[in-house]
Amino acid sequence: PPPLLSVRDLKVHFPVRRGLLQRQVGTVRAVDGVSFDVERGATLGLVGESGCGKSTTGRGILRLVPPTSGSVKIDGREILTLDPGALRKARREMQMIFQDPYASLNPRMTVHDLIAEPLSTHGLVSSRDEALREVARLMELVGLSPSYMRRYPHEFSGGQRQRIGIARALALKPKLVIADEPVSALDVSIQAQIVNLLASLQRELSLTYVFVAHDLAVVRHLSSEIAVMYLGRIVERARPDELFRSPQHPYTQALLSAIPIPDPDVERTRRRLPLVGEVPSPLNPPSGCHFHTRCPYTMDRCSAEAPPLEERRPGHWAACHLTELPTAPTHP
Ligand code: SF4
Ligand code: MG
């Protein structure tokens, strides 16, 4: 069978317009040729700093922003060419969990109405009783007491609000869930609860996830594979244990060395590779390898030529002109 999600050479470009006549002065290449597969029931962790295009990749897959070109197949069916009616039906299969459960829930709707809305929009419930039963079932599924269904979002904590967001996303029984930094806005103490909830829902419902995060540590235990993005491109892709043990791209090394490790012995042997500066603008990104303005190993070739994403060992892909990094940092 085909992978549940197959993305090929996805591009999402935005025109930049200025002045009274709104003349196009450039193009932001937010997503610039991204490819990956996610098998049924698996999780792709999509990681990078803010502005690297990871959220836009997620939104492009769901056509919440219009892709410029490429292919997105769910269960082998092309999504990017669906007409609006067919897309509306296909939306049931692919849902999004948003970063900010405060901003993504309408404050004037009760929890019942928030969760029942997608059900009635898609004609999945035929009576108020049926909606009530389905909302109660979904609330229990995400660990909320159905006795709260007449309450409003502001009466809940951040973690509970994210549970409401998850219930809403699961109402249509999707196959694919794109979670856009679902725990970044939450207290650290609550983050693990939500990650664990998503993991157990995945097992129970055979969900396939794309989990977007800026923090490698958050996706490590949840992901079947991790893809690291930089300025619209995937620079490295591997299974989490492999990626943490031997990162092949200097950018991944830098992200990993930013993760604090409590063990001082490990800390002493580990090579620090601090990331300097900000991600450059995706409008006129650096030539060649986009990372050359921040890479400690940059060579003449790097600003002239973009390195292709190549398979270095089975299942481990990297895009860098260096075939071996000077000193690989160890990471437990
Ligand atoms: Fe650094 Fe060059 Fe590799 Fe890019 S291609 S990551 S600039 S060494
Ligand atoms: Mg984002």
State the ligand closest to the CA atom of 59: 2
Helix (H) or strand (E) holding 159: helix 158-170
Region class of 199: left (phi > 0), else alpha (psi between -120 and 50), else beta: alpha
Please give the order of strands across the beta sheet that includes 5-18.
23-38, 5-18, 69-74, 77-78
Instruction: Give the number of the atom of ligand 1 that is nearest the alpha carbon of residue 289.
Output: 4
Give the pLDDT confidence score for residue 332 in this predicted structure: 47
**What per-residue confidence (pLDDT) applies to 268?**
45
The confidence score (pLDDT) of residue 222 equals 93
- Domains of the chain in start order, with CATH, are 5-230 (3.40.50.300)
- Residues (pLDDT < 70) of the chain are 260-273, 325-332
Q: Read out DSSP for 190-245?
A: HHHHHHHHHHHHHHHHT-EEEEEES-HHHHHTT-SEEEEEETTEEEEEE-HHHHHH
| Angle in degrees, CA 283, 274, 263, rounded to 5 | 140
Collapsed DSSP state (helix, strand, coil) of residue 153? helix
Name the residue with the closest Cα to ligand 1, atom 7.
292
Q: Which ligand is nearest to the Cα of residue 305, counting in written order?
A: 1
List of E strands, the chain: 5-18, 23-38, 43-47, 69-74, 77-78, 94-97, 176-180, 208-213, 225-230, 233-238, 310-313, 316-318
Q: How far is the CA of 135 from the centre of ligand 1 (A)?
A: 51
Ligand with the closest atom to the CA of 291: 1
Distance 187 CA to ligand 1 centre (A): 35
The position carrying tokens 């999600």 is 5
Residue 82, CA distances (Å) to 103, 272, 324 in order: 29, 47, 43
Token couple for 78? 């092309």
- For helices 111-121 and 128-141, give the axis angle rounded to 10 degrees: 110
Sign of CA dihedral 3, 35, 242, 331: negative
Residues 32-41 pLDDT 10s: 999 999 999 9
Q: Which residues line ligand 1 (CB under 6 A)?
A: 249-250, 289, 291-292, 295, 297-299, 302, 307, 320-322
* Ligand 1 nearest-atom number relative to CA 303: 7
Query: Could you give the CA distance from residue 322 to residue 310 in angstroms, rounded to a whole number?
Result: 12
CA nearest ligand 1 atom 6, residue: 320
Supply the pLDDT for residue 103. Answer: 82
User: Given the CA of residue 250, which atom of ligand 1 is nearest to it?
Assistant: 6
Contact between 220 and 195 (Cβ < 8 Å): no
Reported ipTM: the value is 0.97
| Distance separating alpha carbons of residues 202 and 39, to the nearest angstrom | 13
Minimal CA–CA distance to 90: which of 104, 105, 68, 73?
Answer: 73
In one letter, which amino acid is 51? G
CA atoms lying within 13 Å on the CB side of residue 228: 30
Atom 3 (ligand 1): residue with closest C-alpha?
Answer: 320
φ, ψ of residue 262 to 5 degrees: the values are: -70, -25
**Residues 209, 205: Cα–Cα separation, whole Å:** 11
